[in-house]
């Protein structure tokens, strides 16, 4: 493969200014992640400790293999939502290594509202299950939850993608042969009691672990019976009488020891064969990405400079380099695994879309995972481009992305606007994983464009009513309000809070994050091809 030659002047003032700006954004990200990990009330910490329970991060540390990486997912879910302290939506989840194998871990943080489940917590749980199902990863649940947050029950209970879907997914995972292990380390209440009941293996901790469809307050209200949590659903009930639980643990440490033993004896899942070679670092420092990415999304930059800092040896075999130049496509190795990369270098024209369609089909046929680097304003618009068929050429690319069977991973490295989000494998197009950089934005269109459109629409309405268009000062006020609202709702933190991605990542860590994600995708066999859809020619 060819080595990508950098043209970045790391001594230029532009580079240094960009570097400082990205460094500041990354520092903000780190501070928000620190708060999500550590911001707990003294009362919650004291209560947790008095019960003899370990903090959720300590549980994870003991569960994971020493020194093994943990790919945490959606750590800033529910950021500034609810009372602004439901960090991570009350759940710590991600892909980790236990007894030498990749697993999906879902752990309640009982120091956040007693592990109570909020709407975004349901959404995060379903996303973790989806990733496990798509990649055939065994699931480990560390349950410590008081059940649904009742004041928001209408956003948790009745709909198709609400709490009931968790148990539906568990049934399907069992049918698919995906092992599910649950450690009951605290309360496991109401519908949540079905999580262990529908798991393959259940470990329950003495005194702190309790499973029941209705807790003591509900039992008393419904039947008048007074009973303690231990009497209602403790280890004596479920390990000796009901048979719900399979293993009795004396404390958190013992439960984690048993879980690790269960994982150790699980049948090994073979990895799918992929083109691999020894991993090599890039020739250039990944942290140089800080200085490469402009401060303004509207300012273009060469995505090859990013590719050169994430792929092995900075080697890249570019596909159709002289054709459809606003989209860069090519082959590379990332942590030793061959990948096909698509990165935006401008707006998508017909040539770019057709090039992408062919490239995706080739990668899909040859079982090469796809990586999308999104920095896109959308498809070109205008009379001449419509006449030339931009709509049908865009359809080809969108269809190819939709139907590709190979693992797809997406990183939003700039703007993600309009139909460009779809064509470059946005959330709706089922990438196995998707991340954003701290400065990235996602919306129908950029704030300035949205403001211009809305003012134009308003003026057209006034003219139809026989009135004068808005004077410049009113137009400016309206535009500014639209721009501010658009920037707030397209901001990376706003997006990640609502799980429109799997997390915001430090650009310098993109290579390693992608490598961990690729490793997790290697257990799901790629289905046989049954053809693509009808391409509109």
* Residues near 32 by beta carbon (within 8 Å), at least 6 away in sequence: 76, 79, 493
Write out pLDDT tens, residues 97-139.
999 999 999 999 999 999 999 999 999 999 999 999 999 999 9
Whose CA is closest to 292, among 12, 3, 5, 4? Answer: 12
| Across 318-326, average pLDDT | 97
Average pLDDT over residues 214-233: 89
Report the distance separating Cα 161 and Cα 167, nearest Å: 11
- CB hemisphere CA count around 139 (13 angstroms): 35
Report the SS3 class of residue 420.
helix
Both tokens assigned to 105: 């871990």
b/e code 466-503 from CB counts within 10 Å (16+ = b): eeeebeeeebeeebeebbeebeeebbbbbbbbebbbbb
Percent with pLDDT over 90 in the chain: 82
What pLDDT does 412 receive? Answer: 98
- Position 316 scores a pLDDT of 98
64 by DSSP, 3-state: which? coil
What pLDDT is attached to residue 449? Answer: 73
**Model confidence band, residue 536 (pLDDT cutoffs 50, 70, 90):** low
**pLDDT confidence of 534, banded at 50, 70, 90?**
low
**Structure confidence by residue, pLDDT tens digits, 489-531:** 779 999 999 999 999 999 999 999 999 999 999 999 988 877 7
Give the end-to-end CA distance of the chain in Å, rounded to a whole number.
33
Confidence check: pLDDT of 242 > 80: yes
pLDDT of residue 519: 96
Average pLDDT over residues 447-456: 77
Asked if residue 319 has pLDDT above 80, the reply is yes
* 174 and 194 Cβ atoms separated by less than 8 Å: no
Residues 456-466 pLDDT 10s: 888 888 888 88
Residue 297's alpha-carbon distances to 15, 83, 257, 304, in angstroms, are 15, 32, 49, 17
pTM reported for the whole predicted model: 0.93
Is pLDDT of 480 > 70? yes
Between these two residues, 1 and 333, which has the higher pLDDT value?
333
Q: What is the pLDDT of residue 445?
A: 66
Output the six-digit token pair for 394.
Answer: 């865009």
List, in sequence order, the alpha helices (H) in 374-509.
383-388, 390-403, 418-423, 447-464, 472-490, 492-497
Q: What letter would DSSP give residue 236?
A: I
**In whole angstroms, how far apart are CA 427 and each of 91, 122, 327, 431?**
21, 18, 20, 7
Q: Give the orientation angle of helix 119-135 with respect to helix 164-176, to 10 degrees.
A: 10
pLDDT, mean over the chain = 94
On the 0-12 / 13-18 / 19+ scale of CB atoms within 10 A, 228 is: exposed
pLDDT above 90 for 57: yes
> What pLDDT sits at residue 532?
67
Model confidence over 345-365: pLDDT tens digits? 999 999 999 999 999 999 999
pLDDT in tens, 134-172: 999 999 999 999 889 989 999 999 999 999 999 999 999
Q: For residue 56, what pLDDT band results from cuts at 50, 70 and 90? A: very high
Check: CB of residue 229 under 8 Å from CB of residue 216: yes
Res. 537: pLDDT tops 60? no
């Amino acid at each position: 493969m060819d080595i990508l030659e950098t043209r970045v002047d790391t001594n230029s003032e532009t580079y240094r200014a960009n570097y400082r700006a990205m460094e500041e954004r990354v520092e903000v990200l780190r501070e928000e992640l620190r708060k999500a990990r550590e911001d707990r009330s003294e009362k919650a910490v004291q209560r947790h400790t008095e019960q003899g329970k370990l903090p959720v991060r300590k549980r994870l540390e003991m569960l994971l293999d020493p020194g093994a990486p943990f790919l945490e997912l959606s750590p800033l879910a529910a950021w500034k939502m609810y009372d602004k302290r439901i960090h991570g939506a009350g759940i710590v989840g991600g892909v980790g290594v236990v007894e030498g194998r990749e697993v999906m871990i879902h752990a309640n943080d009982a120091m956040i509202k007693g592990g109570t489940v909020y709407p975004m917590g349901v959404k995060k749980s379903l996303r973790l299950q989806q990733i496990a199902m798509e990649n055939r990863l065994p699931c480990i649940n560390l349950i410590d939850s008081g059940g649904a947050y009742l004041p928001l029950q209408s956003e948790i209970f009745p709909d198709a993608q609400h709490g009931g879907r968790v148990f539906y997914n568990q049934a399907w995972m069992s049918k698919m042969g995906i092992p599910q292990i649950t450690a009951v380390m605290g309360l496991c209440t109401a519908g949540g009691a079905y999580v262990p009941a529908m798991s393959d293996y259940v470990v329950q901790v003495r005194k702190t672990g309790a499973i029941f469809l209705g807790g003591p307050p509900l039992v008393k209200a419904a039947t008048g019976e007074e009973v303690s949590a231990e009497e209602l659903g403790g280890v004596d009930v479920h390990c000796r009488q009901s048979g719900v639980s399979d293993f009795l643990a004396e404390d958190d440490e013992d439960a984690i020891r048993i879980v690790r033993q269960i994982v150790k004896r699980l049948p090994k899942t073979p990895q799918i064969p992929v083109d691999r070679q020894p991993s090599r670092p890039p020739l250039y420092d990944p942290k140089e990405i800080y200085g490469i990415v402009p401060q303004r999304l509207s300012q273009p930059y060469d995505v090859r400079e990013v590719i050169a800092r994430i792929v092995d040896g900075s080697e890249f075999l570019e596909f159709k380099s002289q054709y459809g130049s606003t989209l860069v496509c090519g082959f590379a190795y990332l942590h030793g695994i061959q990948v096909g990369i698509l990165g935006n270098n401008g707006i998508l024209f017909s040539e770019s879309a057709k090039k992408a369609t062919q490239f995706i089909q080739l990668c899909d046929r040859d079982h090469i995972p796809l990586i999308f680097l999104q920095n896109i304003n959308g498809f070109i618009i205008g009379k001449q481009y419509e006449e030339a068929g931009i709509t049908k050429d865009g359809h080809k690319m969108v269809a190819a992305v939709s139907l590709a069977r190979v693992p797809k991973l997406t990183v939003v490295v700039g703007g993600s606007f309009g139909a460009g989000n779809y064509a470059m494998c946005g959330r709706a197009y089922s990438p196995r994983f998707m991340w954003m950089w701290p400065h990235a934005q996602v919306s129908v269109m950029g704030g300035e464009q949205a403001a211009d459109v809305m003012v134009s629409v308003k003026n057209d309405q006034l003219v139809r009513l026989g009135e004068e268009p808005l004077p410049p000062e009113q137009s400016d006020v309206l535009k500014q309000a639209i721009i501010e609202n658009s920037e707030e709702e397209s901001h990376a933190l706003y997006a990640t809070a609502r799980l429109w991605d799997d997390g915001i990542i430090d650009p310098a860590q993109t290579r390693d994050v992608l490598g961990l994600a690729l490793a997790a995708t290697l257990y799901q066999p790629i289905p046989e091809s049954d053809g693509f859809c009808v391409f509109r020619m």
